Amino acid sequence: GLSTAAMNDEESDEEKEWAEALRDFLFSLRYSANSNFVPATQACLRNVVRYGPAYLYAEEGFAPHTLIRYASIPVVEGYLCRNRWGQVDIFHRRYERTARQAAQLLGYEKLPARIKMLVDDPAKCETKISLIQCIQPRDERKMYRLGGSYQYLDTAFASYHVLEDEEVIVRESGFRSFPVSCFNWRRYEGDPYGISPTIEALTTVREENAVRRSGLRALQQVTDPATASKARLDYVPVLNPGENYPGLIDDQGRPLIAPIATGQNPTYAFSYAESRAEEIRDMMFVDLFQTLVQNPQMTATEALIRQEEKGALLGPSGSIIQAGFASNLDRELGILEDKGLYEEDSRFLPPASLAGKAVRPTFTGPLDVLRRSAEARDTIQVVTAAMQMAQFDPGVMDNIDGDEALKIVQSAGRSPQRIFRRQDEVAGIRDARAKAQAAQAGMAAIANAGKVAKDAVPAAVQARDSGLLDSLGGLMPQGGEGGA
Say yes or no to pLDDT of 468 above 60: no
Contacts (Cβ under 8 Å, ≥6 apart) of 432: none
Mean pLDDT of 293-301: 62
Lowest average pLDDT, out of 93-97, 159-163, 281-285, 302-306, goes to: 302-306
Total Cβ atoms within 10 A of residue 92:
16
Q: Which of 190, 164, 158 is nearest to 177 (CA)?
A: 158
Mean pLDDT of 144-151: 72
Q: How far apart are CA 325 and CA 304, in angstroms?
A: 28
Lowest average pLDDT, out of 132-141, 159-168, 241-250, goes to: 241-250
Mean pLDDT of 227-244: 75
DSSP 3-state percent helix, strand, coil across the chain (nearest 5) = 50, 20, 35
Q: What is the pLDDT of residue 293?
A: 54
Q: What is the pLDDT of residue 2?
A: 66
pLDDT band at 276 (very low <50, low <70, confident <90, very high): confident
- Strand, coil or helix: 394: helix
Lowest average pLDDT, out of 29-33, 304-308, 383-387, 426-430, goes to: 304-308
More confidently predicted of 414 and 342:
342
Lowest average pLDDT, out of 219-233, 279-293, 393-407, 449-463, goes to: 449-463
Q: What is the pLDDT of residue 292?
A: 46
Q: If you average pLDDT over every residue of the chain, what do you get?
A: 81
Q: What is the pLDDT of residue 92?
A: 96
Say yes or no to pLDDT of 3 above 80: no
Q: What percent of the chain has pLDDT over 70?
A: 81
Q: How far apart are CA 380 and CA 374, in angstroms?
A: 10
Q: 119, 105 in Cβ contact below 8 A?
A: no
Lowest average pLDDT, out of 40-49, 58-67, 125-134, 445-454, goes to: 445-454
Say yes or no to pLDDT of 484 above 50: no
CA distances from 246 to 227, 243, 477 (A): 17, 10, 153
Q: What is the pLDDT of residue 319?
A: 76
Q: How far apart are CA 288 and CA 282, in angstroms?
A: 8
Show me where the domains of the chain are located. Answer: 2-198+315-363, 202-237+257-283, 367-420, 424-472
161: β partners? 133, 171
* Structure confidence by residue, pLDDT tens digits, 354-369: 777 777 777 766 666 7
**pTM > 0.75: yes or no:** no
Instruction: Spell out where 176-325 has E strands.
Output: 180-184, 227-229, 257-259
